Structure 1
Amino acid sequence: MLSASLWIDEGLNALRELEENITGYTVPANYGSASFNQVRPLYPGAVALVANEGTVVSHFSTGYSYKYADADGTLSPQSELYVVASLTKMFTTILAMQQLDKGAFGLNDPVVTHLPGLDGGKEDVTVQMLMTHTSGFDADPDPGLWYGYPTVEERREAILRIALINEPGKRYLYSDINYMVLQLLLEQVTGKALDDLLKDDLTGPLNMTSTFFNRRNVQLNKSELVERHIVSTEYQIEVLGDIEPDRLQPVWGTVHDENAWGLDGVSGHAGLYSSALDLGVFCQMILNNGTFGGTRVLKPETVDLIFTNFNGAFPGNAHGLGFELNQNYWSGAMRSLKTAGHTGFTGTSLAIDRPSNTLWVLLTHRVHPSRTWSNINLARENMGFFVAKALGRIE
């Protein structure tokens, strides 16, 4: 396991500053554009983790898990389970890289070679294009899967029919559709549902017991949600209207993302629940070149593809397989072409800095009570700043 340890005084001081900073954003204030010029906290609660050289050097929680769904509020424990939104894509990425290792498909293979149902002029879309957001797909399905089609099977079939809006390989456009298609590809070549594949090939072998999909969108009652430390999210119907899924408000215990909800709670682009410690294991596996706790899940040369920029033709959008590279908005002063990471819409992020063998995770539920509540990039950037300060990179 990742183990707790102490750093030298300078590093510890920076980590204490980090905790004060992340905690500070739970206090209502006008944070400018981050709080849309309103007096409010950036998020009701958060859990953060930092590890260096395989050792946890900071792990803390702050604020509330259920602040606006509970009259009194419940303090955040460190074990909290968050809907991690698009961090799901990073897990789908690793599952795809495992299939690369097995020779099930190649990066430059046309997806349609292995997924014949992907029709409509998409013959030139490759696996690499899906994983670097250069396929030509739009950002999201239109209409949304959850209301545009009556059954889960019809929604899955609709994904295969989505038309391209750009020529493959000619433009970068971040797209959830890429990872919906990648899920269907993985299920086709492995013969397993994505959630089963995840458990069998990744979270099970790495003993990541807090990382899972909620297949069939099973709704737990409030006492069960509190007991399992699952954070609440958004009053979606109040915010967006009756087009939203008809379910418990605020959304709590089922996936926040509506398209993932429409896909029975399991999608390649969103839907996972996880904890900071599990995400720490995930990131450390990557820093360990594909192994953790004596279990290898990827070849070292395949891990290198996470830190290889495939998007040199699209300045500002550096991308390894699945992971973004060299982005200020989630890594701040730690940004580099060897710093890989990603964010999630609900207020989550993870970052992996290969040169310093450092990882950091920030989990918030900034969409509680509303997605219009805040933008937490300020907190993400500041976390990178204090990690850099702890490492002695900056004064």
Structure 2
Amino acid sequence: MNVKIEQFLKESVNRKIFPGCCVAIIHDQTTEYYCVGYKAAYPYQETNKIDTLYDLASLTKVVGTTPAILRFIQSGRIHYHTPVYTIIPEFKNRDITLFHLLTHTSGLPADFDWEMTENKEVIIQRICEFSNQVVPEKEVIYSDLGYIILGYILEKISNQSLDQVIESQVLKPLEMYDTKYSPTQINKCAPTEYSSYVHHILQGEVHDHKAIMMNGIAGHAGLFSHIFDLEHYAQMILDNGKYKNQTFLEEQYIHDMFTNFSLKNQVPRGIGFLTYTPDSLFSSLNSTKTIAHTGFTGTSILIDQENQIAIIVLSNRVHPTRENTEILNWRREFHDFVMKHINDDIEN
């Protein structure tokens, strides 16, 4: 374990960046694990554990939905440029393709204002009807709505529920056995926010309000996981799509994750991921072949393929309230610190 990195994380807890966190740092095929702080801070403190399950929030998009879609593309069942309406006939826009949804270039907005009485069917219907009001490829708009549609597409082409298809296509092949929607091991889950919708601190219940309306199972949010399972996922990407010498994704699809498909002067996005930019959450020491994604609850993953480094952070920074936004600047600070000290002497 790198003592400097562990101390940085402990100081981050003291700075109230989050109650606690679990971190995995992969470097040249070796993984270091860190666990600091508290799993819960309210109504009482509970010491964190390395196998704590965290609400991944939007990491669901890249850990679950994106690789599942790519595996169906890889099998020839669908293609990047398959129009959405050919799978979902009620989708009004005839120009939007799977590629647009995967790269956040569909034109669909980030979100709508929703009444909590609405359900999955109403959400899908409203997105489908609204789609005719947008034009793809004009700009990058990071969209939960696009990934909700991708999740529904997975259900349509597999004839399975979304949790079933994610489990069969992604979680089982990568041996991510504790990663789940709606986990049953509630006591192992880090609590998130006090919810004004259900009037208690959420624990083992999804934090995202749209995912709540969709019974906790959605393409944009809903998965819970721990640091060991996410290490499997990150290692697969570092190994160009192979997991334990078996091809999970062909190299071309990993390459597409690292390729900036955005128009000039737009936020750089590959398939699923944010690609390298000198600002944002990336370290200045990361290579240009680096991707990252974050989750609202305080989760993030950064993968630098050239340097063979991955940095995974699981935290519940929204516990007990989302008003704590210190993590937004902290992420780049932490990535910088890791890149500067990754080769320091490690104490066993």
Instruction: Please tell me the TM-score bracket, short chain as reference.
Output: over 0.9
Instruction: Give the AA of the match of 2:42.
Output: Y
Asked if the contact 1:338–1:355 (Cα under 8 Å) also holds between the matched residues in 2, the reply is: yes
Structure 1, 277-286 or 323-332: larger mean CA deviation: 323-332
Structure 1 stretches of at least 4 aligned residues deviating more than 6 Å after TM superposition: none
Does the CA contact (< 8 Å) of 1:25 and 1:43 recur in 2? yes
Partner of 1:225: 186
Contact preservation (8 Å) 1:49, 1:280: yes
Contact 1:329 / 1:380 at 8 angstroms: preserved in 2? no
Structure 1 residue 113, shift from structure 2 partner: 1.9
Take 2:162 and 2:264, find their aligned partners in 1: how far apart are those partners? 30
CA distance in 1, matches of 2:181, 2:265: 34
Deviations 1:243-287 (A, max 9, x none): xx325x111110000101111111000000011111111011111
Q: Does 1:246 align with 2:217?
A: no
Of 42, 49, 59, the residue aligned with 2:33 is: 59
Question: Is 1:321 aligned to residue 292 of structure 2?
Answer: no
CA distance in 2, matches of 1:154, 1:354: 41
For the pair 1:95 / 2:45, whether they are aligned, the reply is: no
- Which TM-score applies when normalising by structure 1? 0.82
1:203 corresponds to which letter in structure 2?
A: L
Structure 1 match to 2:159: 191
Equivalent residue in structure 2 for 1:143, among 99, 102, 114: 114
Q: Does 1:26 align with 2:26?
A: no
2:66 & 2:285 partners in 1: Cα distance?
A: 23
Q: Which residue pairs with 2:257 in the alignment?
A: 306
**Is contact 1:323–1:340 with CA below 8 Å preserved after alignment?**
yes
- In structure 2, the partner of 1:234 is 193
The one-letter amino acid paired with 2:275 is L
Asked if 2 retains the 8 angstrom alpha-carbon contact of 1:172 and 1:314, the reply is: no
The 3-state SS of whatever aligns with 1:343 is strand
Checking the alignment, whether the CA contact within 8 Å between 2:5 and 2:341 is kept in structure 1 is no
Alpha-carbon distance, 1:109 to partner: 2.3
- The verdict on how the C-alpha distance between 1:50 and 1:267 changes in structure 2, with shifts beyond 3 A counting, is same
Q: Is the 8 A contact 1:330 1:380 kept in 2?
A: yes
Q: Where does structure 2 lack aligned partners over 5 or more consecutive residues? A: none
Please name the residue that 1:17 is paired with: 4
The answer to whether the 8 Å contact 2:91/2:131 transfers is: no
Residue number among 71, 74, 83 corresponding to 2:46 in the alignment: 74
Distance 2:84 2:124 in 1: 16
Equivalent residues in 2 for 1:1-395, closer than 5 Å: 15-28=2-15, 41-56=16-31, 58-70=32-44, 73-90=45-62, 91-119=64-92, 122-144=93-115, 146-147=116-117, 149=118, 151-163=119-131, 166-214=134-182, 225-226=186-187, 229-237=188-196, 245-246=197-198, 249-311=200-262, 313-315=263-265, 317-327=267-277, 328-391=279-342
In structure 2, the CA distance between the partners of 1:332 and 1:254, relative to structure 1 (3 Å rule), is same
- Measured in 2, the distance between the counterparts of 1:329 and 1:388 equals 16
Matches of 1:304 and 1:356, distance apart in 2: 15
Paired residue total: 342
> CA separation of 1:152/1:180 partners in 2, compared to 1, >3 Å: closer, same or farther?
closer
Do the aligned residues in 1 keep the contact of 2:124 with 2:149 (CA within 8 Å)? no
Q: What RMSD over aligned residues (CA atoms) do the two structures have, in Å? A: 2.0
Q: Distance in 2 between matches of 1:310 and 1:246?
A: 40
What TM-score do the two structures reach when normalised by structure 2? 0.92
Identical positions, percent: 30
CA distance in structure 1 between the aligned counterparts of 2:286 and 2:144, rounded to whole angstroms:
24
For 1:16 and 1:378, locate their aligned partners in 2 and report how far apart those are by CA, in whole Å.
22
In 1: Cα distance, 2:181 partner to 2:286 partner: 31
Q: Distance in 1 between matches of 2:83 and 2:186?
A: 43
2:14 partner SS: coil
Pick closer, same or farther for the CA change 1:109–1:152 going to 2, 3 Å: closer
**Per-residue deviation, 1:294:** 3.3
Give 5+ residue unaligned stretches, structure 1: 1-11, 29-40, 238-244
Distance 1:316 1:390, change over 3 A: farther
SS class of match (1:341): strand
1:378 is paired with a residue whose SS is helix
> Matches of 1:352 and 1:174 in 2, distance apart?
20
Q: Deviations over 1:42-100 (max 9, x none)?
A: 211111110112211x2111111111132xx1110111100010000002111111111
Higher-Rg structure is: 1
Q: CA deviation at 1:388?
A: 1.5
Matches of 1:337 and 1:164, distance apart in 2: 36
Counterpart residue type for residue 225 of structure 2: S
